[in-house]
Amino acid sequence: MIFEPFSIKNVTFKNRILRSSIGGRTCYYDGTVNPAWKRFEKRFAEQGVAGIISATITVDERRWSPLEYPKLSQDRFVKPIREAVQAVQALGCKYIIQLGDHGYHTQTSLLPQVEDSKSASSGFDLVFGYGNRSSAMTTEEIQQTVQNFAAGARRVREAGCDGLEITASKGYLIHQFLNPATNRRTDAYGGSVEKRFQFLREIVRAVRQTVGNDFLFGIRLSAVDFNYLPVNFRWPVVFPLRHYFMGNGLNETLYYGQELAKLGIDYLHISSGFGFINPTESPGAWPIDEFRLYANATRHLSAKANVRAMLLNALPRTVVRGIFGLGWGYKPAVNADYARTFKQVVGLPVIANGGFQRQDTIEEVLRTGQCDMVGMARPLLANPNLLSLFKQGINEPSNPCSFCNRCSVATVVLPLGCYDRSRFPSQDAMEAQIMWWSGGPEDEELVRRGST
Ligand SMILES: Cc1cc2nc3c(=O)[nH]c(=O)nc-3n(C[C@H](O)[C@H](O)[C@H](O)COP(=O)(O)O)c2cc1C
Ligand code: SF4
């Protein structure tokens, strides 16, 4: 079934594989996409994926995260994105832009600023974001953010995209409102599950009104938050403790899915977990060296970020691994069962995300109706030719993605590409592959030896 077309609304995808969001430093310092962004995205289109979902593109000029990631917070960002989107579409590949606002999970602004702390409620989070504390948004700031999403959505349409996705997952701002551990508001936007959904409800209404009923519009949703993964320290503790340790469970997120269907969205993109990265969305290893790299590169941003870096540097590797590596490990098709539940209960087309690599696994989830499409990121980064291998009947590449998660963390600081040195004959080969991704000097032979 992988190579059977599938339509959602008025958009027909030529097969069932979508390149899932891969954000990286592919912009100029003002957030305008640069040629590397276009070349990076085009590579996946050339290799036959049916569609690409962009990196999370910020709608807030100030909450830019990380640096040199794309922005759509002003009209001037549209033109270069349109040029790249057209180049992707010319290859028969659909392009969907994912919009988001990182809230207090903003990781690297140029310098600290108060807006980076904005969230549903005030609080402390050791692992995510760099601010010492998050701060509660005012009603005016909430309304402004709803307008930011609507304006961003208009720009997505103006950029000639085939569709729009909004991320209500990853622990970003919308998710911070949905999650009962980070939303302790007592006004119209917090408290009951209905009220925690209010912010997303207003965004979806405003966005649908802006883009029109004929435009493909989906939501990326976390099926279960698993707040206790990765190991973190959040303050204050909230009660019931189920809310503190788990966040939203399936009953709550199914309610969100059903409400979203009533509001007229066209598909759900299902992952799980709270925060990027987390073990149920990016199943695999916990990359200690890359975390140290990232923490050291951002330690100047706050006292908390500095202490976080000191802890990661000072504690022995075994201790750091023992604590922060808890719960990490690879599980294939990690969210497929959740995808099926959403498909059955909500009835919308569903994309499943996380941990797909083998052809037989993907065939199985499609054949059994667990999902309609599959979103993939790391295995395509490791083996851009994965779809051609599948076409040749190869079940799994001979040099597969190891799910080491080095790329997921290192690329906040370093260029996009695969960072598992053991997959390459030499460090030069690995670096050539990284340069190849964003269109630097190309050494096809080195790159060829690096992937299957
Ligand atoms: C380098 C890198 C950057 C990513 N950037 C984003 C992003 O900007 N937005 C997003 O929603 N997911 C992002 N993801 C998560 C992927 O879209 C995907 O959900 C995750 O890697 C699990 O899928 P996989 O097992 O196919 O890799 C990123 C993943 C990687 C490896
Ligand atoms: S660094 Fe390479 S092998 Fe490791 S998860 Fe990323 S793409 Fe896969």
Which residues lie across from 402 on neighbouring strands?
none
Segment 160-186, tens digit of pLDDT: 999 999 999 999 999 999 999 999 999
Closest by CA to 112, choosing from 169, 64, 179, is 64
Separation of CA 406 and ligand 2 centre (Å): 6
Nearest ligand to the C-alpha of residue 381? 2
- pLDDT attached to residue 450: 47
Separation of CA 397 and ligand 2 centre (Å): 13
Q: Is 415 in the pocket of ligand 1 (CB under 6 A)?
A: no
- pLDDT attached to residue 66: 85
Q: Tell me, yes or no, whether 449 lies in a domain.
A: no
Distance separating alpha carbons of residues 308 and 306, to the nearest angstrom: 5
Separation of CA 433 and ligand 1 centre (Å): 19
Segment 239-289, tens digit of pLDDT: 999 999 999 999 999 999 999 999 999 999 999 999 999 999 999 999 999
Q: Tell me, yes or no, whether 438 lies in a domain.
A: no
Letter for the amino acid at 126? L
Q: Which residues of the chain have pLDDT under 70?
A: 440-452
Nearest ligand to the C-alpha of residue 354? 1
Q: Tell me, yes or no, whether 446 lies in a domain.
A: no
Q: Tell me, yes or no, whether 320 lies in a domain.
A: no
Domain count, the chain: 1
Active-site residue flag, 172:
yes
CB-side neighbour CA atoms (13 Å) of 203: 32
Q: Which of 69, 172, 294, 419 is catalytic?
A: 172
Nearest ligand to the C-alpha of residue 285? 2
Q: Tell me, yes or no, whether 91 lies in a domain.
A: yes
Element (H, E) at 98: strand 94-100
Supply 452's token pair: 């299957």
- pLDDT attached to residue 445: 52
Neighbours of 389 (CB within 10 A): 17
Neighbours of 292 (CB within 10 A): 16
Atom of ligand 2 nearest to the CA of 420: 1
Domain that holds residue 14: 6-286+329-424
**Pocket lined around ligand 2, Cβ cut-off 6 Å:** 378, 381-382, 401-407, 418-420, 423
Separation of CA 383 and ligand 2 centre (Å): 10
Q: Tell me, yes or no, whether 97 lies in a domain.
A: yes
Q: Tell me, yes or no, whether 106 lies in a domain.
A: yes
Q: What is the CATH number of the domain that holds 107?
A: 3.20.20.70
- pLDDT attached to residue 442: 46
Distance separating alpha carbons of residues 445 and 356, to the nearest angstrom: 27
Burial bucket for residue 244 (CB in 10 Å: 0-12, 13-18, 19+) = middle
Ligand 2: which residue has its CA nearest to atom 6? 407
Distance separating alpha carbons of residues 120 and 138, to the nearest angstrom: 9
Q: Tell me, yes or no, whether 315 lies in a domain.
A: no
